[in-house]
Amino acid sequence: MWGDSVLGYKAHFGAGVITANVRGDRAPVTVRDGADAVATGLKKFGAMVGDLAEIGCNSVLCPGCVIGRGTQVYPLSRSCAAGAGGQRLQKAGRGCRKAGLVPGAAAFT
pLDDT digits (tens, 9 = 90+) for 29-80: 998 877 788 899 999 999 999 999 999 999 999 999 989 889 888 898 888 7
pLDDT for the residue 105: 43
**Is 95's pLDDT higher than 70?**
no
Residues found in the chain: 109
- Please list the alpha-helical segments (H only) found in the chain: none
Closest CA to 67 of 54, 51, 50: 50
Per-residue pLDDT averaged across 82-105, rounded?
A: 54
Is the pTM value of this prediction over 0.85?
no
pLDDT for the residue 37: 86
Using an 8 Å Cβ cutoff, are 87 and 99 in contact? yes
* Contacts for 57 with CB less than 8 Å, ≥ 6 apart: 14, 15, 16, 17, 75, 76
